[in-house]
Amino acid sequence: MSNEFGFSIKSLRFDENYTPAENTRLTTNFANLARGESRQQNLRSTLNMINNRFNALANWDNLKGDRYSVELDIISVELNIDAARSDNALPIIEILQTTIVDHQTNQRIDGVTGNNFSSYVRDYDFSVRLLEHNKGKDSFSVPEQFGELHGNLFQAFVGSAAYKECFKKPPVICISVSTTKTYQQTENVHPILGVEYRQDDDSLTDAYFSKMGLKVRYFMPPGSVAPLAFYHTGDLLNDYSNLELISTISTMDTFQKIYRPEVYNANSVAGKSYQASLKQQDHSLTRIVYDREERSQLAIEQGKFVEESFIKPYQNLLEQWSANWSANR
């Protein structure tokens, strides 16, 4: 068996005709919308929300607010345990690639890679390993080497030939802020990302993403009601164009309004000192229908699936690979 892991990339368009692939995590933002009687209306409404948000932010030379539209492709990453073979590939990561369509110039512009982040191994870490580690304990703690395998797999993927052949820039992952931390507004304001927030006590998610080689900044874009967390490498403010940043904001602000309306569709705007709460009653719901309870249960089921099909069968190999990768990077 080869000592190297190989990565392969598949792409699937996310549009109103989207049907999840068989190996897609069912809790992903996109797959969760594409089930049930309202599936096509859900997808159509989501895409309209993204396009409207994009044009509201990209409002220069855009008098009618319809100059741009955003195309989304779901990027599925498979891991080949033995790079010399292709018959043992396991799905590990799903992200989004945005493409901006300028209807005034008929240009297609690359957007940001990443945006949403979905991972079977992260499901296992948070929904199985972390819960079992803390079962019956009086105080919360994190297992030894928590997130290291996942972080090394992600960094190996971003540094792989497969990634570099498909994408020009490092990924930016945009997710919600923690509900356990308080964020302080700063005087720093970016024309696209908006007002910056800071907090010095890393959340569990911040620590987990740092093992993926990602640092974080928090911004509340114009027209948003709460800050978003932007996980990135390099210089977030200077490595990406305004349109690239808008593609991320419009996409992920929309998904957060759907899935965390208490925070991102609240009827009041975050103040100078802000802590998000999922118990916030003063919020509005979108017209998009999905089963919230089912979404929570599926994360646990998928975590157990990856434990049985990936972690346990290959545990020794994975631990050896991860240790070697950490030592040699």
What confidence tens digit (pLDDT) does each residue in 280-316 have?
899 998 888 776 666 666 777 778 888 888 889 888 8
Instruction: Name the DSSP letter for residue 178.
Output: P
- pTM confidence score: 0.93
Burial of 153 (0-12, 13-18, 19+ CB in 10 A): buried
Which residue carries 């409404």 as its tokens? 45
Alpha helix stretches (DSSP H) within 211-259: 242-259
Which residue carries 């017209």 as its tokens? 287
Which residue carries 């590990």 as its tokens? 92
Structure tokens at 278: 């999922």
The CA-based dihedral angle spanning residues 53, 55, 56, 60, taken in that order and rounded to the nearest 10 degrees: 160
pLDDT in tens, the chain (329 residues): 345 688 999 999 998 888 776 655 444 556 667 666 777 888 899 999 999 999 999 999 999 999 999 999 999 999 987 655 555 678 889 999 999 999 999 999 999 999 988 888 998 999 899 999 999 998 999 999 999 999 999 999 999 999 999 999 999 999 999 999 999 999 999 999 999 999 989 999 999 999 999 999 999 999 999 999 999 999 999 999 999 999 999 999 999 999 899 999 999 999 999 999 999 899 998 888 776 666 666 777 778 888 888 889 888 888 899 998 888 87
| CB within 8 Å of 250: residues ≥ 6 apart | 50, 51, 53, 54, 57, 70
Q: Which helix (H) or strand (E) holds 10?
A: strand 6-14
Cβ atoms of residues 34 and 19 within 8 Å: yes
- According to the model, what pLDDT value does residue 27 have? 46
Give the angle subtended at the CA of 191 by the CAs of 188 and 194, to the nearest 5°: 55
CA pair distance 219, 198, nearest whole angstrom: 9
- According to the model, what pLDDT value does residue 26 have? 47
- According to the model, what pLDDT value does residue 111 have? 97
